[in-house]
Amino acid sequence: MTSYAVVIPTPLRENLADRLAAPAAGHGPRTRREVTTVPAAGVVIPPAATWHRPAGAWRHRDAPARREAVR
């Protein structure tokens, strides 16, 4: 399988990152609930995701292997 790297010029890449992050970041948390929820989610989600990955692999251990895509 061949993979291709896309090279984006630095000024364009920085502008793109700013444009994509700005709406999501806004001007920071607006309410007390946001201030407590965002860090709490950051603490809870990674361990949950880490647990779900091997749990799913164990649950589907007898499933047939995925076939390669035909190109």
In a domain, 68, yes or no: no
- Residues 23-69 pLDDT 10s: 555 666 678 888 888 888 888 999 998 999 999 999 999 988 877 76
Number of domains in the chain: 1
pLDDT score recorded for residue 13: 58
Q: Which of 28, 27, 8 is nearest to 17 (CA)?
A: 8
Tokens of 34: 């946001």
- Domain membership of residue 34 (yes or no) is yes
> Domain of 54?
30-63
